[in-house]
Amino acid sequence: MKQYRILIDCADKKGLVYTTSKLFYELELNILSNHEFVDSDNEKFFMRSVVEGEIEEATLHEKLNDVLMDEINFKVVSPRKKNIVLMVTKESHCLGDILIRYEAGELDANIVAVVSNYDLLEPLVDKFDIPFFCVSHEGLDRNQHELEVLKCLEQFKDIDYIVLAKYMRILTPHFVEAYRDKIINIHHSFLPAFIGANPYKQAHERGVKIIGATAHFVNNDLDEGPIISQDVINVNHDHSWKDMQRSGRDVEKITLSRALKLALEDRIFVHKNKTVIF
Amino acid sequence: MKQYRILIDCADKKGLVYTTSKLFYELELNILSNHEFVDSDNEKFFMRSVVEGEIEEATLHEKLNDVLMDEINFKVVSPRKKNIVLMVTKESHCLGDILIRYEAGELDANIVAVVSNYDLLEPLVDKFDIPFFCVSHEGLDRNQHELEVLKCLEQFKDIDYIVLAKYMRILTPHFVEAYRDKIINIHHSFLPAFIGANPYKQAHERGVKIIGATAHFVNNDLDEGPIISQDVINVNHDHSWKDMQRSGRDVEKITLSRALKLALEDRIFVHKNKTVIF
Amino acid sequence: MKQYRILIDCADKKGLVYTTSKLFYELELNILSNHEFVDSDNEKFFMRSVVEGEIEEATLHEKLNDVLMDEINFKVVSPRKKNIVLMVTKESHCLGDILIRYEAGELDANIVAVVSNYDLLEPLVDKFDIPFFCVSHEGLDRNQHELEVLKCLEQFKDIDYIVLAKYMRILTPHFVEAYRDKIINIHHSFLPAFIGANPYKQAHERGVKIIGATAHFVNNDLDEGPIISQDVINVNHDHSWKDMQRSGRDVEKITLSRALKLALEDRIFVHKNKTVIF
Amino acid sequence: MKQYRILIDCADKKGLVYTTSKLFYELELNILSNHEFVDSDNEKFFMRSVVEGEIEEATLHEKLNDVLMDEINFKVVSPRKKNIVLMVTKESHCLGDILIRYEAGELDANIVAVVSNYDLLEPLVDKFDIPFFCVSHEGLDRNQHELEVLKCLEQFKDIDYIVLAKYMRILTPHFVEAYRDKIINIHHSFLPAFIGANPYKQAHERGVKIIGATAHFVNNDLDEGPIISQDVINVNHDHSWKDMQRSGRDVEKITLSRALKLALEDRIFVHKNKTVIF
């Protein structure tokens, strides 16, 4: 038996569930799980079905194409290990969390490389026998450095996701466009609070009682892309901003790993600046 | 346009989504929301669809009956105010929370009566012009008292739910049977921890760092019915059991009101000792 | 035995704990609880001691004055019911939560009045026999309306706190100055995210996965005063902004009531734009 | 300047704060932080002061001894790396979390060894150049195996804490006694719910809506020792017990690491079956 994830993302209209469930029935597919959502504000329909059967992927795709026709945006995905690149700077907590899960076989992914603008985390990455590339930004302006990074990334075919696991440099629109909807970032605040640099210092100065972290897709507005997951933790007056940073790291790593898992399982739809997550 | 909630709860088999979505399509019903769940351990299928159309309730029921046939357990529900009875003892926080929501028109319900074994909360209930019945347990044994309570309840036709909003007496199997799957209780602990009397004292003695509350349907095992909702709050060594009780009350009332809202919206399926909630 | 709360808030220097604990020892006071915090960034010392003994308040004050001397800012507070005024507009959930607690004797306060710019909540307030004042803003500009409100408030002597329990008008600096450090507001977002109007709509448009509420003292910057308490709740793509508002109300009322309790127990110190809470 | 943690844990009596703060003042020590708690049920006093000054540890100890005298139980601790041994079975998430923190220099500890009853995690531990000892239980009864483990542990002098990072065997009273108040365990449920084997399966069967994890000191009653920290995560009907296990792992590792940090910073007092944590 083969398993497929069928992802539909289109303008809402009557009969979409009927059409697909009819096809699944005729093809003798078992529906293992089925999620739909109608975004009535935007008249959009989203569906994720996991089905099981004897059919080949190409045939299933063709059959779906026949019934859904041109205007319907759909994908058929066979569960497979996705290719991911991690980008980091100096902090190891998000990287380490992903590496430990990777080593345990918990991630449905191949980590094809770790890319950093420093060599500080090379020894950690080496332990796990994953290629590490240091692309230093020293002496380069933002554009020059990014071109070097892009050149480095080009050697890897079929990158499914780039995970910014505390990569502390801002990406240009050029980079973002090259990996559109494929870059997942962890921002160390509860967005949209404390956009930009040093959110823990900002949070400490503001005297908040809760801090958080936000995993999101990257678009061209700094820290403004579609949010995938968020989590928070209580703090109080006794916390210095360094304490907040320390507590915040646990939230960051769990939030990023959770978002990555959702992406690897094809559970995220992006529409405009928002996500639908099944 | 009329709105209906269609609730299906049956043994899983192929084609259930197809059959129903075909009917909805042919009847020109809009699907406003649709949730399915397959419990593969128990080979059970659960579905809740909210649809909109010109059809009469009786006709829709008949049509569904035609396609789903005998072995399928389904319900068609028109959104309507459900009849509820609140039962209380001495504490007002859960009762008060429900009364304030009721007054604001937030609950899709008629509170037909409040029944108590004390008269302490009568003045509060009177403010909201809701009939209050004191059925004292003094001088009566458990069975005698319950018979009095049941007699009191009998005057209300078509009770949809009985909400035990801190009713601190244990119900007999006879009572539970009379209102099977209709009694919602709030237990002041994170079940299954601290079953039974004075859970805050138990929690304090055990030195837990988190306390909680559990809303559940009542069955014949004390505090063992299907769980609808749970929530928790942090505590520490500085909390006496009275402090825990005080903090816990906020969790209790929110958890109970959340469960009640789910019930009023027909979002809860009960299967064996568990709930499926859409 | 009498109980006192001693609150010290001053520049940090050596020997403060020694000086006060020596005095408590000599006066034969039992220390029931004792909290200190040194804000080393600002070189500030905060202390809250609850003591018990035979001494009169005036004597204790004098003795503390002798040892702490001029430069030390301290207060001796006898636990007593504080006078509070509630201000509301149209929503009843925060008001109702406070009224139910009040009725249960849970609040160490006298609610001397409820003031509103609408008469919508008058029936609810009347149930609890609390004076209700409608000061309509119709036909008045902001300043004129506020002068009317201030005139209304003037009749109440010794207001300890004004609680903005969903009062949906912005206060002028003149008003804020008149009740400096005495106005507690609930903002229906996780500040500093979504300052200003309709935060739930803002949150929905941003596609956040968590929403929150913030209780804070009011100063002259809109939604920028010292934060007392915050809480959050998970949401997802399925929530319309109305759903967020509905879920958010539970967080709002609990967060505001928690902040009010802290204030009534003299547990909050304000320093610059932050709070220290024991 | 040297820093010391002074930990007092004794029967409550008047003047304890006075006596110690007087000494600190006379010794010209800065008080960096100060926490006290009076457990009035048990008439116990707990205090943790962090002080800074020119004094030697031995002198400070002697001076404290002079003023506190015989009946007072106190400790003076110089912040130093504590020696810890990790014990594991097959799962890597807690171990990995600790190793990544260790590598980042985040833990004030030396991991002197990892001991396991399987060799499965040896490759992971080897990456971090920490001695790994496999003490297989095969062919041995519980007592024989434990004697082997104890023999293995004996080679390490001055073990401060043994961290059971998912060590899936029950320890005998003999072992617990040998490392009294030094063994920290993570239990994969929200204690006291689901004591014993396979708590996720138990939780799934019970249909709970929240699962949790508990870090606690080990005593002779299975899963009954003093609780250090707890945390929870929401689940729903859609989670199989394997899903619960997967989500639960994140809670387990964060909860255990948090407890370990508290222990390393000498923030935990144990009294009877409870902890006081500053």
User: Do residues C236 and C133 share a domain?
Assistant: yes
Residue B123 to residues A107, B99, B166, C130, D148: CA-CA distances in angstroms? 59, 13, 17, 15, 70
Residue D51: pLDDT band by 50, 70, 90 thresholds?
very high
State the amino acid at position B191 in one-letter form. Answer: L
pLDDT at A224: 84
C to D CB pairs, distance under 8 Å: 48
Same domain, A261 and A179: yes
Structural contact between residues D245 and D200, judged by C-beta atoms closer than 8 angstroms = yes
Q: Which residues of B70-91 are buried (b: 16+ CB within 10 A; e: fewer)?
A: eebeeebbeeeebbbbbbbbeb
Q: Each residue of A87-133: pLDDT tens digit? A: 999 999 999 999 999 999 999 999 999 999 999 999 999 999 999 99
Interval A211-221: pLDDT, tens = 999 999 998 87
d(Cα A235, Cα A203) in Å, to the nearest integer? 10
Give the three-class secondary structure for B57: helix
* Environment class of D177 (CB within 10 Å of its CB; exposed 0-12, middle 13-18, buried 19+): exposed
- Final residue of a domain: which of D77, D96, D125? D77
Asked if the Cβ–Cβ distance from D254 to A254 is below 8 Å, we say: yes
Same domain flag for D146 and D205: yes
> How many angstroms away from the CA of C121 is the closest CA of chain B?
10
- Give me the percent of chain D exceeding a pLDDT of 70: 100
Q: Of D37, D54, D77, which one is at a domain's C-terminal end?
A: D77
Q: How far apart are the first and last CA of chain B?
A: 23
pLDDT at residue number D277: 98
Q: Are B48 and B267 in contact (CB under 8 A)?
A: yes
List % helix, strand, coil for chain D (3-state, nearest 5): 35, 30, 35
Considering chain C, what is the average pLDDT of its residues? Answer: 95
Identify whether the C-beta of residue D23 lies closer than 8 Å to the C-beta of residue D76.
Answer: no
| Contact (CB, 8 A) for C21 and C69 | no
- A127 CB neighbours in chain D (<8 A) are 127-128
Nearest-Cα residue of chain D relative to residue A124: D103
Q: How far apart, in whole angstroms, are the C-alpha atoms of residue A190 and residue A195?
A: 9
- Which candidate, B216, B213, B230, places its Cα nearest to that of B274? B216
8 Å CB contact of D92 and A103 = yes
Largest CA distance in chain D: 63
pLDDT at residue C177 is higher than 80: yes
Assess contact for C119 and C90: CB atoms under 8 A. Answer: no
- pLDDT one-digit tens code per residue, C194-234: 988 899 999 999 999 999 999 999 988 777 899 999 999 99
C108 and C88 fall within a common domain:
yes
Domain encompassing residue B40: 2-77
Please check whether residues A201 and A70 belong to one and the same domain: no
Listed residue (C143, C114, C144, C108) closest to C130, CA to CA: C114
pLDDT (tens digit per residue) in C40-50: 999 999 999 99
Tokens of D266: 């000498």
> What per-residue string of b and e applies to C252-270 under the rule 16 or more CB within 10 Å gives b?
bbbbbbbbbbbbbbbbbbb
**pLDDT given for residue C71 in this prediction:** 78
Q: Contact, A116 vs A133, CB < 8 A?
A: yes
Amino acid A28: pLDDT: 95
Spans of chain B, pLDDT less than 70: none
Half-sphere exposure of D31 (CA within 13 A, CB side): 28
For residue A223, the model assigns a pLDDT of: 76
By DSSP bridging, strand D161-164 and strand A74-77 are unpaired
Mean of pLDDT values over C183-189: 95
Considering the domain architecture, whether residues C63 and C158 belong to the same structural domain is answered as no
pLDDT of D223 > 80? The answer is no
Where would I find the beta strands (DSSP E) of C54-92? 74-77, 82-88
- Residues of chain D with Cβ-Cβ distance to B191 below 8 Å are 193, 206, 208
Residue D91 scores a pLDDT above 90: yes
Interface probe for D, chosen from A35, A91, A92 (most Cβ of D below 10 Å), is A92
Backbone angles phi, psi at A50, to 5 degrees: -110, 120
- Per-residue pLDDT tens over the stretch A15-56: 999 999 999 999 999 999 999 999 999 999 999 999 999 999
| Short-list C129, C132, C130, C127, CA closest to C115 | C132
Active site residue C223: yes
CA D186 to chain centre: 9
Reported as a pLDDT band with limits 50, 70 and 90, residue D195 is confident
List, as one string, the DSSP characters of A69-118: -TT--EEEE---PEEEEEEESS--HHHHHHHHHHHTT-SSEEEEEEEESS
CB neighbours of A111 closer than 8 A, spacing ≥ 6?
A: A84, A85, A86, A98, A99, A102, A130
pLDDT one-digit tens code per residue, B82-96: 999 999 999 999 999
Residues D39 and D107 in one domain: no
What is the predicted ipTM?
0.94
Catalytic position from the list D223, D243, D250, D266: D223
Residues A48 and A175 reside in one and the same domain: no
pLDDT at B196: 81
Chain C residues touching B106 at Cβ < 8 A: 246
Predicted local distance difference test score (pLDDT) of residue D222: 72
DSSP assignment letter at C170? P
Longest dimension (CA), chain B: 63
pLDDT of residue C164: 98
Residues B97, B108, B119, B223: which is the catalytic one? B223
What is the rounded average pLDDT of the residues C127-139? 97
Minimal C-alpha gap between A96 and chain D (Å): 6
- Identify whether the C-beta of residue A95 lies closer than 8 Å to the C-beta of residue A253: no
C46 lies in the same domain as C96: no
> Within this chain, do residues C239 and C115 fall inside the same structural domain, yes or no?
yes
Q: Rounded to two decimals, what is the model's pTM?
A: 0.96
C134 with C254, same domain: the answer is yes
| Cβ atoms of residues D77 and B278 within 8 Å | no
Taking only the tens place, the pLDDT of each residue in A196-213 is 889 999 999 999 999 999
Reported confidence tier of residue A157, pLDDT bands at 50, 70, 90: confident
**Could you tell me if D208 lies within 8 Å of chain B, comparing CB atoms?**
yes
Q: Which residues of A touch D103 (CB under 8 A)?
A: 92, 96, 124
Contacting residues of C for D37, CB less than 8 Å apart:
33
Average pLDDT, chain A: 95
Cβ–Cβ of B25/A15 closer than 8 Å? yes
> Is the Cβ of B265 closer than 8 Å to some Cβ of chain D?
no
CB of C163 less than 8 A from some CB of A: no
* Chain B interface disruption, residue of D37, D39, D190, most B CBs within 10 A: D190
What's the Cα-to-Cα distance from C213 to each of C86, C229, C254, rounded to whole Å? 18, 8, 9
Q: C106–B257: do the CB atoms touch at under 8 Å?
A: no
DSSP-assigned beta bridge partners for residue B275: B270
Average pLDDT, chain D: 95
Query: Are the Cβ atoms of B97 and C99 closer than 8 angstroms?
Result: no
Residues A173, A50, single domain; the answer is: no
Note the pLDDT of residue B70: 72
Number of domains within chain A: 2
CATH number reported for the structural domain that contains residue A25 in this entry: 3.30.70.260
Reduce the DSSP state of residue B203 to 3 states and report it. Answer: helix
pLDDT value, residue A222: 72
Q: How confident is the model at residue D183 (pLDDT cuts 50, 70, 90)?
A: very high
Domain boundary residue among D20, D50, D77?
D77
Q: What angle do CA B241, B243, B247 make, to 5 degrees?
A: 115
Q: Do A207 and C237 touch (CB under 8 A)?
A: no
Alpha helices in chain B (DSSP H): 16-26, 57-68, 93-103, 122-127, 142-154, 173-178, 199-206, 241-264
Residue B209, domain CATH: 3.40.50.170
d(CA D250, CA D213) in angstroms, rounded, equals 9
